[in-house]
Amino acid sequence: MKQLLREGLLRHLRLNETIAGNCGTHYTKQFMFEEGEDFDPFGHIEQDTEVITEPIDTLQDCLLGFSNSNTKLEWPYFSLPAGYTCPMATVCKNFASKPGQKFSDGKSIKKGKEAEMLCYAARAQAQYKAVKEKVFKNMDLIMKANKEGGSEAMADLILKSLKYHGLDKEKLFRIHESGDFFNKEYMQAWIKVANTLPGTLFYAYTTSIPLWIANKGSIPSNLKLIASMDKNNAKSIIDNDLRYSLVVYSPEQAKELGLKIDVDDSLAWGSDENFALLLHGGQHAGSDAAEALKKNKKAGVYDKVKQAYKQNRQSKLDRIRKL
């Protein structure tokens, strides 16, 4: 290092220090020193040489993060870590490793004990650092609010965060592009949010069927819930007459069940009927889901889905404007 500095091959030395934010998040302070003959290794103490590369928004540090759109959704949504906040999920339960960590086998994704398919959200969180950091920060803030003040504190946090990001007047909003209602207080928090913002249509998929049943009488009309049906919760969903979606492995399976396939969530928020979701995304090697995925790709099924998405897009946007 000394030789490189002497030869002028390393012109700048950057030292980064991680500083804890106000709400359990972190940002980086960066110190930069010019290398030269008169360089003072203690100069940064006596002089104001600290450079913060980006302004620190301490308010945003304490607020939830949202996403505005993705390849499927064209409206804002909120996410929590897949698996960790899905206490009643079974066949779709997968986990991405926590930020900066790996699981004991060195991998960044892990199957739940009863998992039969790979959750696309867990896969995205394992693959994209920014996505992972956002959802885990959201979980930290929500859990902190839950501990400090239960449903009232969580609802207050959600509402403040929506307002800060200019999302409190949106016509359509998806709760949990990943994650789920992890306890009764958290579900009640979103019920309070929906009641406070009657001009927004909120919707969410959930495997937390007992929580839905317990709160069935208090869910407002602008909060649409869709039960994520599987072999373990089907009886409870049917017995309680809950609306549901079901992941199918092929269009033929959906046809046999008499269920329309929702390609863009337009059935989820725009109807009251049950529907199917076609298996998609990467799947665990050797699984039945992986084999079904291969067959669908070979048959051009996903090309048809993309085409259906494009054809449906304008009418979908027109319907949103009329909400």
- Between 74 and 57, the more confident residue is 74
Give the pLDDT band (50/70/90) at residue 21: low
Judged by average pLDDT, the poorest of 7-16, 21-30, 272-281, 292-301 is 7-16
Q: Please say if the pLDDT value at position 16 is more than 70.
A: no
Give the pLDDT band (50/70/90) at residue 39: very low
pLDDT single digits (tens) 153-180: 999 999 999 999 999 999 999 999 999 9
Q: Stretch 288-309: mean pLDDT, rounded? A: 92
Give the pLDDT band (50/70/90) at residue 49: very low
Q: Please say if the pLDDT value at position 284 is more than 80.
A: yes
Q: CB of 121 within 8 A of CB of 81?
A: no
Q: Please say if the pLDDT value at position 9 is more than 90.
A: no
> CA-to-CA distance for 91 and 99, rounded, in angstroms?
24
Judged by average pLDDT, the poorest of 40-54, 138-152, 159-173, 267-281 is 40-54
Token pair recorded at residue 309: 């998405």
pLDDT single digits (tens) 79-135: 999 999 999 999 999 999 999 999 999 999 999 999 999 999 999 999 999 999 999
pLDDT of residue 308: 86
> CA-to-CA distance for 158 and 177, rounded, in angstroms?
15
**Pick from 206, 204, 136, 148: nearest CA to 175:** 204
Q: Please say if the pLDDT value at position 4 is more than 50.
A: no
Q: How does the average pLDDT of the chain come out, rounded?
A: 85
pTM value is 0.82
Task: Report helix, strand or coil for 243.
Answer: coil
Give the pLDDT band (50/70/90) at residue 27: very low
Radius of gyration of the chain measured on its C-alpha atoms? 24
Q: Which of 241-278 are b and which e, b meaning 16 or more Cβ less than 10 Å from the residue's Cβ? A: ebbbbbbbbebebbeeeebebbbbbbbbbbeeebbbbb
Q: Could you tell me the maximum CA-CA distance found in the chain, to the nearest angstrom?
A: 80
pLDDT single digits (tens) 233-247: 999 999 999 999 999
